[in-house]
Chains A and B, each alone.
Chain A
């Protein structure tokens, strides 16, 4: 199944777009790096407030940063898909790639937990209000998952290439 998926990815025009121009891969990478900065920057501010590191910030303002995180993630999903369409065989054979994907799924589930369960309870908290334990743990897990995504992503070319 994975083989036919890889064959299909390589057969699409996106594969040619990513591989046949000298500038496309570096452009995708630059965008991927820029959006990872804005994603991690917004997440650090939001998650650290949830944890209690900077209580001056009202939770409503945490909510206002969410579009930055979502748009940044969307950019990284699109540019990331570009890499996969360009060179699926290398990525699919790399265990660090799968570790990164699993961490992204875990981070997504953690975000859903925040969005559905935690945020309705905390969004009215103002400056200096303490957050409940669940909010603290969701914030901490978010930072752990996303810094894990970043580390595995950056180490991808060095780890597990060749099917290990």
Chain B
């Protein structure tokens, strides 16, 4: 279960970080239209982690629920998922050769910070 959780993390967060960087203008050689399938794949990673995470949680629910590091992580993961849910349609409606709005880029920038802190908090859950 813990290995599945790491796998889902790599898929969801790894792809999200790269897609966010693309939205911010890195790797401009990747067409925006190509991001659609990767968003779909990222959601598969999110599904894997929702299931594996729920099972890991249920094994130690009473200690996790009072742990502020864990609760911060969960809040950030939900926020991260919201950014992906906002960015996916925003990218999809850009015409070939079109520009992304400043708001979309701001969400992508925020998403990077959210994911990075979520990963750090998740790791620190083991210590605090």
Contacts and interface: CB of A to CB of B under 8 A. Distances in A.
Nearest to B16: A41
A10 to B, nearest CB: 23
A150 interface: yes
B9 A56 contact: no
Contacts of A150: 3, 6-7, 10
- Looking at chain B's contact residues, is the secondary structure mostly helix, strand, loop, or mixed? helix
Interface string A134-163: 000000000000010011011100100000
Given A45-B38, A57-B34, A34 B29 contact: no
B15 interface: yes
Interface residues of B, number: 32
Given A44-B41, A150-B6, A38 B30 contact: no
Which secondary structure dominates where chain A touches chain B? helix
Contacts of A38: 14, 17-18
A interface bracket (residues with beta carbon within 8 Å of B): 20 to 34
A50 interface: no
B49 to A, nearest CB: 12
Contacts of A127: 31
Given A37-B17, A54-B37, A30 B7 contact: no
Interface of B: 2-3, 5-7, 9-11, 13-18, 27, 29-31, 33-34, 37-38, 41, 115-116, 119-120, 122-124, 126-127
Interface of A: 26, 29-30, 33-34, 36-42, 44-45, 48, 53-54, 56-58, 60-61, 64-65, 68, 127, 147, 150-151, 153-155, 158
